[in-house]
């Protein structure tokens, strides 16, 4: 076995292990699938171990692959730390906000005030599942969202801090029978199909949260729908499909829809600050401090008796 393993080979392995799909892994790394396969085969030769079981229908980690994964992540994190430490100018911290107008944006704004010398750069990914993959790949540093909804392989190697229990809401078409209410009881959604990101591989944690919330309430999770990018596309899709959309109370108003808080009980979405394990950056410290400050000031971690929160993670 070779004593020196190129970090590129380990990054190819970790990405393929997270995706369990070579085409998607290659797309994340911006390389051809053939190049990714060559790197995986080379790593297997150098280690003298088979890391994946490949069939025409699925890709899975072998026992050796499972054992290698946490070590490979630590090696890549150490390499990132080394490069950051050797940089002459502190690099920007890439912070995913998912979308504008949410809790994450308020935390970022306060962190910029607390650490004016840090460059905290906003990015906009669609969902924590997608962002977590980007964090592992080194293309993002920090994100926000429901950590307990992440798959076990994605959650490994991440650290998190609870920021807020955020009240949830529903976006309804203007002419929906519930649209004229100031609040929507969960029981009023019985028999409805509500969109919660199902079918979008980047928002699986949000769909998992919705399934918990809807269980036993006769509310169905709507199947896959076209992903609307931009306000006008959202208006068009809402008018065409007329499907209620699960969201949070801080979500921006969208054309063609009204935002209504959910009540009886008030469902709360746990919002976590999430970053890569081992990441050392003054911007992370500023974000964590901002989250604590805003959480205390706005009572973000308070759970009232008539609220609903998802079950804690089992992994």
Split at pLDDT 50, 70, 90, the class of 129 is: very high
Q: Which of 75-79, 129-133, 143-147, 269-273 has the lowest mean pLDDT?
A: 75-79
Q: Quick one: pLDDT at residue 255?
A: 75
Q: Quick one: pLDDT at residue 98?
A: 79
Q: Quick one: pLDDT at residue 198?
A: 74
Rounded Cα–Cα distance for residues 138 and 276 (Å): 9
* Residue 90 pLDDT > 80: no
Per cent of the chain over pLDDT 90 is 61
Rounded Cα–Cα distance for residues 99 and 101 (Å): 7
Q: Quick one: pLDDT at residue 70?
A: 92
Q: Quick one: pLDDT at residue 82?
A: 78
Q: Quick one: pLDDT at residue 105?
A: 94
- 244-256 pLDDT tens trace: 889 999 987 777 7
Split at pLDDT 50, 70, 90, the class of 164 is: very high
* Residue 3 pLDDT > 80: no
Domains of the chain: 7-86 (1.10.10.10), 93-164+268-308 (3.40.190.10), 166-267 (3.40.190.10)
* Residue 88 pLDDT > 80: no
- 290-307 pLDDT tens trace: 999 999 999 999 998 889
- Over residues 152-178, the mean pLDDT reads 92
Q: Quick one: pLDDT at residue 237?
A: 60
pTM listed for this prediction: 0.70
Q: Quick one: pLDDT at residue 315?
A: 43
């Amino acid at each position: 076995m070779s004593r020196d393993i190129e970090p590129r080979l380990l990054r190819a392995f970790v990405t393929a292990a997270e995706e369990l799909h070579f085409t998607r892994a290659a797309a994340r790394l911006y390389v051809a699938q053939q190049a990714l396969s060559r790197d995986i085969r080379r790593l297997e030769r150098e280690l003298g171990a088979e890391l994946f079981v490949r069939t025409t229908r699925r890709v899975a980690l072998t026992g050796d692959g499972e054992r290698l994964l946490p070590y490979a992540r630590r090696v890549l994190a150490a390499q990132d730390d080394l490069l950051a430490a050797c940089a002459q100018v502190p690099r920007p911290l890439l912070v995913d906000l998912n979308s504008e107008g949410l809790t994450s944006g308020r935390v970022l704004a306060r962190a910029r005030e607390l650490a004016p010398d840090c460059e905290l750069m906003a990015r906009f990914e669609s969902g924590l599942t997608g962002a977590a993959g980007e964090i592992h790949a080194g293309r993002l540093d920090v994100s926000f969202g429901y950590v307990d909804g992440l798959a076990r392989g994605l959650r490994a190697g991440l650290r998190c801090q609870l920021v807020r229990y955020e009240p949830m809401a529903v976006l309804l078409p203007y002419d929906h029978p519930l649209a004229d209410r100031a609040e929507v009881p969960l029981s009023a959604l019985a028999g409805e199909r509500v969109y919660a990101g199902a079918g979008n591989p980047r928002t699986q944690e949000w769909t998992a949260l919705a399934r918990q919330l809807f269980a036993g309430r006769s509310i169905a999770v709507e199947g896959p729908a076209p992903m609307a990018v931009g306000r006008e596309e959202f208006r068009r899709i809402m008018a065409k499909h007329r499907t209620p959309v699960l969201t949070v109370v801080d979500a921006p108003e969208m054309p063609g829809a009204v935002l209504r808080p959910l009540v009886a009980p008030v469902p709360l979405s746990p919002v976590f600050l999430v970053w890569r394990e081992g990441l050392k950056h003054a911007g992370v410290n500023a974000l964590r401090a901002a989250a604590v400050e805003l959480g205390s000031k706005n009572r973000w971690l308070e759970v009232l008796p008539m609220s609903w929160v998802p079950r804690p993670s089992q992994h």
